[in-house]
Amino acid sequence: MSSPSIETVSTTAAAERSLFSASQARIERLRDRFQQIRKFTNALCAGLEPEDCVVQSMPDVSPTKWHLAHTTWFFETFILKKFVPGYRAEIPEYAYLFNSYYNAAGDMHRRDLRGLISRPTVNEAQRYRASIDSHIDNLLSNPDDSLLDEIEPILVLGIHHEQQHQELLITDIKHVFAQNPLHPVFRPSGNDGARRRPDVATRRPYQFIDFEQTIIEIGHEGRGFAYDNESPRHQALVLPFALASRPVTNGEYMAFIEDNGYARAEFWLSLGWMTVNEQRWDAPLYWTKCDGTWWNFTLSGFRPVDESEPVTHISYFEADAYANWAGARLPTELEWERAASGCPIDGNFVEDELFHPAAVPSASSAEALAKPDAETSPQHRHLVQIFGDVWEWTRSSYSPYPGYRAAPGALGEYNGKFMCNQYVLRGGSCATSRTHIRRTYRNFFQPEKRWQFTGIRLARDPG
């Protein structure tokens, strides 16, 4: 056998170096992403006191401390316990306390009793986070490629899971603070200057943008991360429709209230009418009328309702009733995805630190936004605030796409088992991370829920 030439040896060594550096780069990217997301959760809590972090103001709300520990439990349960030989949990009881709903992962504490867990303390929950972060860091210090192939998709899922909990942490602490007559401030409105705040006279009315009938591809196209509920990608017929150029504003919603919309059964679904009467709703969550003026509790304090901001914290029932009153309807999720497929993913997200929807564009800024651009179709140029600000209710029930199968095991419980009695929301909100949202992203809530940043974009049939 002839020995390899110097040239062959150096080529092989170069190839190995290249593979090694590609593998290292992949690990570093993953580690950076993991650390960045974990730090951002901690940064969101920076202004909170321990007393803030333990309150559960209603069964849907989880205490901040629980979010901190549960997101950590996710990485411990689905990565460390599975992939670290001989791993032993420091505090095994956390598996019961901080499992949310994964039956295949074991028993769990009752959701509505999370506010009664005074121990572990907030400090202990933070120590738990630091300990698991350190274990993950060790695991990522030198994994071989086959281990990395197994860990990476679960770690990425855990990162997106934590981003979902960052949003819940924000909306939950808002609900907690809203119960306090002292109106605590989560973040002073330091970034208020970034708001576009047209006065009512210059606010541009929404327009309806027409879309023709077509067959489109719906769902995740396969590149990058997506939840299983966004697949399989499939063809769907979308009939002609028109979509409003922007979300409905507080000012427009006030007209519905002033027209006695909450007291007129003709606009409401039967279940909605029952709910609105049982709950005695007469305005969006967090609105209070003082001396004839509507005030709004926000994460930056209690202040008069700004008529130019998108209305938010409304249920599906209220969104549907408003649409009926306005002579329109809510879009289907297929219509929404079709419209959004031509729009860039930009907007007011959690990274902008407003923690509140930004005002709709004034007439002049809407003209500027609508300037011709070679990349964008004429219809899409006129659609604004599709992403960020407020989740937009659709009239689509949350159900599986054709061919959907939930994955086996505990992680298969992430989405599939909730496909009943909920409606799909699209587009993300001011509490969603920019790196978390997609055009195909399907959020879902029961129709009576109001504590998320949920809003309205109208649609209508042609003619």
- Residue 45 C-beta: closest distance to Fe ion, Å: 17
Which of 189/432 has CB closer to Fe ion?
A: 432
Which of 71/250 has CB closer to Fe ion?
A: 71
Burial of 245 (0-12, 13-18, 19+ CB in 10 A): buried
Which of 56/100 has CB closer to Fe ion?
A: 100
**And the tokens for 293?**
């003026």
Query: Rounded to the nearest 5°, which phi and psi values hold at 23?
Result: -65, -45
- Residue 425 C-beta: closest distance to Fe ion, Å: 17
- Residue 98 C-beta: closest distance to Fe ion, Å: 9
- Residue 18 C-beta: closest distance to Fe ion, Å: 39
Q: Please give the single-letter amino acid code of residue 177.
A: F
> From residue 49 to residue 88, what is the string marking binding to Fe ion with x (rule CB under 5 A)?
----------------------------------------
Which of 158/427 has CB closer to Fe ion?
A: 158
Helix 6-44, helix 122-139: angle, nearest 10 = 170
For residue 143, is the peptide bond before it cis, meaning its omega torsion is within 30 degrees of 0?
no
What number of chain residues touch Fe ion (CB under 5 A)? 1
Which of 100/298 has CB closer to Fe ion?
A: 100
- Residue 444 C-beta: closest distance to Fe ion, Å: 14
- Residue 175 C-beta: closest distance to Fe ion, Å: 17
> From residue 285 to residue 324, what is the string marking binding to Fe ion with x (rule CB under 5 A)?
----------------------------------------
**H/E stretch holding 423:** strand 423-426
- Residue 353 C-beta: closest distance to Fe ion, Å: 23
Distance CA(71)–CA(393), nearest Å, equals 27
Q: Residue 450 to residues 115, 126, 276: CA-CA distances in angstroms? A: 20, 30, 12
- Residue 101 C-beta: closest distance to Fe ion, Å: 8
Distance CA(68)–CA(38), nearest Å, equals 9
Going by their DSSP bridges, the two strands 293-298 and 287-290 should be labelled as: antiparallel
Residue nearest to Fe ion (CB): 100
At residue 88, the 3 state secondary structure works out as coil
- Does residue 440 belong to the site contacting Fe ion (CB under 5 A)? no
**And the tokens for 406?**
């939930």
Going by their DSSP bridges, the two strands 391-397 and 454-455 should be labelled as: parallel
Query: What's the per-residue H, E or C state across 282-307?
Result: CCCCCEEEECCEEEEEECCEEEECCC
Task: Out of 41, 57, 62, 100, point to the residue binding Fe ion (CB under 5 A).
Answer: 100
Stretch touching Fe ion by CB under 5 A, among 98-106, 140-148, 415-423, 432-440 = 98-106
List contacts with Fe ion (CB under 5 A).
Answer: 100
